Structure 1
Amino acid sequence: MPRRRTLTLRGTGALVAGVGCLIAANMLGAQILLYIGVLLLAVTVFSILAVRLPRRSGSVARQISTDLLTVSETSRVTLRVTLRALRVPRGLWRDVLPDAVSGDSAGEYPPETGQLSYLITGVRRGVWPIGPLVLRTVDPFGLAQREQAFGETRTVTVVPEVFTLAPLTVKVGAAGGTAQTSSSRLGQGSDNLSPRRYIPGDSMRRIHWRATAHRGQLMVRQEEEESSPDALVILDRSAARWARPGDAADPAFETAVSMCASVAVHLVQEGYGVDVIDSAGTLLGALRGHEDDRDGLLVALALVAPRGDARDITTLIGGTPPGPLVYITGELDEEDAALLRPSGAAAPMLFATAPLPGAVEAAVQHGWRVATLGDDVTESWEDVLPDRVGLGPAESQRGATDVAR
């Protein structure tokens, strides 16, 4: 935070004028100029002492109306200031804001309402500090000023914007968003267990005593395959796909992150259990319908940045292909697109912010539905829906390819 000079522009002028009068008085022998010069210097020194000598200390408590601030969302910051001083100084206050957050965080002190309050808007995702509170006071002559910081900073988390997407027009899997894919993972509760007759060799620990008492013969617990409405969203953040990281945000990558968040939240609303991973296989979030899951994913996406290399999709998916598979990437050439295999996913959807010539065709040959990810996230999503309104499956695929081109 840059510090202001003690002397204002007027004070600097008074100091220069005073020194000039003393020099002129000595050269011209004009006593009146000597008086004026001494007066200007004395007033300037008095002004500096008036603003610098009073001791002040205090504390600041900040409260933000939302825990997570979404890009383009507005939130209110309320400050309660406890200031200890001989007298209440009058001046201007401002709360220091990062470039990633915009807002009019300044005003007159002390305020009429007794507390400080202002609105902020998220501009760039990430975790950013707000504060400290700076109080600026000026002497009555306007020659000297003092800026003093109070309180500690508080961080605000700006998460990517989540857009409302159109629903999937066809159900993927056996029963849409309630039973898409069958998984051999064993459940943890009794709902995933059904009794069957005892077979020699079964462990006695698996005996279902309630069913045994009910049927009059030994029954054992049998694990059933549980219905797992899984969807997988992969954010390709490998460094080769994006512009080199710097101080300025990459608009294409920001759009990709927002698309990732929007798709994940949308799929969980449709009844899917959603896993979000990056191209290296790192789990960014697992959504199972809880609000905490959503917040955890958004916080993880607030901190994500391009880095590393991408792994093969088959390795990322593992042995059980998901229902919907959404792959979000940046610059994609024909050779890399030919290596992207959906590995048996029921609805593979590919979004690329900068597909190079031939990339779309190469991806479509492997069964992907492809669209260029532009500024309008909702429009890009509609371009790859499994069954666009009014089109058959073949026509729908051609339509998505035409849009991507």
Structure 2
Amino acid sequence: MPRRRTLTLRGTAALLAGLGCLIAANLVGAAILLHVGVLFLAVTAFAVLAVRLPRRSGSVTRQVSTDLLTVSETSRVTVRIALRAPRVPRGLWRDVLPDAVTGDAAGEYPPETGQLSYAITGIRRGVWPVGPFVLRTVDPFGLAQREQAFGETRSVTVVPEVFALAPLAVKVGAAGGTAQTSSSRLGQGSDNLSPRRYIPGDSMRRIHWRATAHRGQLMVRQEEEESSPDALVVLDRSAARWARPGAAADPAFEAAVSMCASVAVHLEQEGYGVDVIDSTGVLLGILRGHEDDRDGLLVSLAMLAPRGDARDLATLVGGTPPGPLVYITGELDEEDAALLRPSGAAAPLLFATGALPGTAEAATRHGWLFAELSDDIAEAWADALPERTSPSRIDPSRTAPRAADVTD
């Protein structure tokens, strides 16, 4: 945070005017100029002392109206400052915001309402610091100023935007797309279970994200029943598929991350148990009907960046093919598309942000429902659905792997 100079523009002018009067008085021998010069310098010195001498200290707490801030979503930040000073200073306040969020985080101090609050809007996903709180005071003549920072920063997590998607008409998979057919899956109300503190050795899958955010320490669900996933979402974040990371976000990768979040949440809402992994097999999140599963996935996706190489899809899927298999990747050519095999998945959907000539045909030949991914996430999803493609491209009864798919 750059520091402001002690003298304002007016103060600098008063200082120069005082020095100029002293020099002129010495040259022409005019006593009046000497008096005016001394007055200018004295007032400037008084202004500096008035803003620099008072000792101030304080603590700052911030409360954000939402635990997680979604890209393009607006949330309200309430700032409470306990300021210790000889008298209440008057000036301007501002909260330092990162480039990843926007908001009018400034105003007059003390506020007329007695409470400091402002709205922020997420622009770029990630975990970003908000703060410190800065108070700027100026002397009555406007000659000197002081900026002082109070309190620590607070982290704000900006998660990818989740879009509403069209229903997947074909219900396939271990649960047939209905949560009621899986007796081992906990219901939507199971999130009301009392969380407890994290103990070393607890599975990271059991972290209760909302309770963690509220209490400031890791909390886990008291119990969780495991069930086999019947939908798999794979986000290919291998470095070769994306532009090199830079200061600005890659729009294609941001669209892919948003697509991954939207598809996973949508499939869970349709009754599937969903596993989300990256192209190296690292688990990004699981959705099993718990309310905070979604938060855990979004937090994981908020910090994701392209890296490493992709593993073979058949290895990632394993021996038991899922029902819906969604693979999201970046730039894809015909040769790479031919190497991606659905591995017996009953509803394979492939999305690429940059499809080179021949990619769509190669993907279709190997059984994929293919669509190119653009900024319109919902439209890309709708383009890949069976009702917008040839009916012969998907067989709802295909719930077991074919030898040809596995051995090709």
Shorter chain as denominator, the TM-score bin is 0.7 to 0.9
1:29 is matched with: 29
SS of the residue 1:166 aligns to: coil
Cα gap change, 1:176 to 1:37, in 2 (>3 Å): same
Give unpaired runs (5+ residues) of structure 1.
190-225, 398-405
Deviation at 1:334, TM superposition (A): 1.5
Q: Cα deviations across residues 248-295 of structure 1 (Å, max 9, x unaligned)?
A: 111111111000000000000000000000001000001101111110
SS of the residue 1:319 aligns to: coil
Deviation at 1:172, TM superposition (A): 2.1
1:260 is matched with: 260
Assess if the C-alpha contact under 8 Å between 2:165 and 2:263 holds in 1: yes
SS of the residue 2:327 aligns to: strand
Aligned equivalent of 1:393, options 391, 394, 397: 391
Aligned alpha-carbon RMSD (Å) = 2.3
User: For residue 118 of structure 2, what is the amino acid of its counterpart?
Assistant: Y
User: For residue 381 of structure 1, what is the amino acid of its counterpart?
Assistant: W
SS of the residue 1:3 aligns to: coil
Q: Cα deviations across residues 330-375 of structure 1 (Å, max 9, x unaligned)?
A: 1111221111111111111111111111112111111111111001
Q: How does 1:220-369 map to 2 (within 5 A)?
A: 228=228, 230-369=230-369
Separation in structure 1 between the aligned mates of residue 179 and residue 126 of structure 2, nearest angstrom: 36
Assess if the C-alpha contact under 8 Å between 2:173 and 2:231 holds in 1: no
2:145 is matched with: 145
Q: How does 1:55-70 map to 2 (within 5 A)?
A: 55-70=55-70
SS of the residue 1:161 aligns to: coil
User: For residue 36 of structure 1, what is the amino acid of its counterpart?
Assistant: V
User: For residue 261 of structure 2, what is the amino acid of its counterpart?
Assistant: A
1:163 is matched with: 163
Cα gap change, 1:55 to 1:115, in 2 (>3 Å): same
2:378 is matched with: 378
Separation in structure 1 between the aligned mates of residue 390 and residue 302 of structure 2, nearest angstrom: 38
2:39 is matched with: 39
Cα gap change, 1:118 to 1:341, in 2 (>3 Å): same
User: For residue 33 of structure 2, what is the amino acid of its counterpart?
Assistant: L
Assess if the C-alpha contact under 8 Å between 1:231 and 1:324 holds in 2: yes
Separation in structure 1 between the aligned mates of residue 333 and residue 240 of structure 2, nearest angstrom: 11
Give the paired residue count.
356
Moved over 6 A (4+): 179-182, 186-189
User: For residue 41 of structure 2, what is the amino acid of its counterpart?
Assistant: L
User: For residue 289 of structure 2, what is the amino acid of its counterpart?
Assistant: G
Assess if the C-alpha contact under 8 Å between 2:367 and 2:393 holds in 1: no
Assess if the C-alpha contact under 8 Å between 1:179 and 1:229 holds in 2: no
SS of the residue 1:298 aligns to: helix
Deviation at 1:9, TM superposition (A): 0.7
Cα gap change, 1:30 to 1:282, in 2 (>3 Å): same
Assess if the C-alpha contact under 8 Å between 2:322 and 2:345 holds in 1: yes
Assess if the C-alpha contact under 8 Å between 1:138 and 1:144 holds in 2: yes
Assess if the C-alpha contact under 8 Å between 1:179 and 1:227 holds in 2: no
Assess if the C-alpha contact under 8 Å between 1:174 and 1:180 holds in 2: no
Assess if the C-alpha contact under 8 Å between 1:54 and 1:86 holds in 2: yes
Separation in structure 1 between the aligned mates of residue 385 and residue 38 of structure 2, nearest angstrom: 82
Assess if the C-alpha contact under 8 Å between 1:66 and 1:75 holds in 2: yes
User: For residue 76 of structure 2, what is the amino acid of its counterpart?
Assistant: R
Separation in structure 2 between the aligned mates of residue 232 and residue 174 of structure 1, nearest angstrom: 12
Separation in structure 2 between the aligned mates of residue 268 and residue 49 of structure 1, nearest angstrom: 64
User: For residue 303 of structure 2, what is the amino acid of its counterpart?
Assistant: L
Assess if the C-alpha contact under 8 Å between 1:181 and 1:227 holds in 2: no
User: For residue 34 of structure 1, what is the amino acid of its counterpart?
Assistant: L
Cα gap change, 1:374 to 1:180, in 2 (>3 Å): farther
1:205 is matched with: none
User: For residue 116 of structure 1, what is the amino acid of its counterpart?
Assistant: L
Corresponding position: 1:123 with 2:84: no
Separation in structure 1 between the aligned mates of residue 244 and residue 20 of structure 2, nearest angstrom: 55
Normalised by the size of structure 1, how large is the TM-score?
0.84
Residues 169-178 or 285-294, more deviating = 169-178
Cα gap change, 1:175 to 1:302, in 2 (>3 Å): closer
SS of the residue 1:296 aligns to: helix
Q: Cα deviations across residues 172-227 of structure 1 (Å, max 9, x unaligned)?
A: 24763028999xxx9799xxxxxxxxxxxxxxxxxxxxxxxxxxxxxxxxxxxx99
Separation in structure 1 between the aligned mates of residue 261 and residue 62 of structure 2, nearest angstrom: 29
Assess if the C-alpha contact under 8 Å between 2:367 and 2:394 holds in 1: no
1:114 is matched with: 114
Separation in structure 2 between the aligned mates of residue 319 and residue 396 of structure 1, nearest angstrom: 21
Q: Cα deviations across residues 135-156 of structure 1 (Å, max 9, x unaligned)?
A: 0000000000000111111101
Separation in structure 2 between the aligned mates of residue 353 and residue 174 of structure 1, nearest angstrom: 30
SS of the residue 2:2 aligns to: coil
Give unpaired runs (5+ residues) of structure 2.
187-225, 396-408
Separation in structure 2 between the aligned mates of residue 395 and residue 227 of structure 1, nearest angstrom: 29
Deviation at 1:36, TM superposition (A): 1.4
Separation in structure 2 between the aligned mates of residue 345 and residue 173 of structure 1, nearest angstrom: 9
Deviation at 1:16, TM superposition (A): 1.2
Normalised by the size of structure 2, how large is the TM-score?
0.83
Separation in structure 2 between the aligned mates of residue 173 and residue 351 of structure 1, nearest angstrom: 20
Assess if the C-alpha contact under 8 Å between 1:181 and 1:322 holds in 2: no
Deviation at 1:301, TM superposition (A): 0.2
Deviation at 1:29, TM superposition (A): 2.1
Assess if the C-alpha contact under 8 Å between 1:173 and 1:180 holds in 2: no
Assess if the C-alpha contact under 8 Å between 2:241 and 2:331 holds in 1: yes
SS of the residue 2:343 aligns to: coil
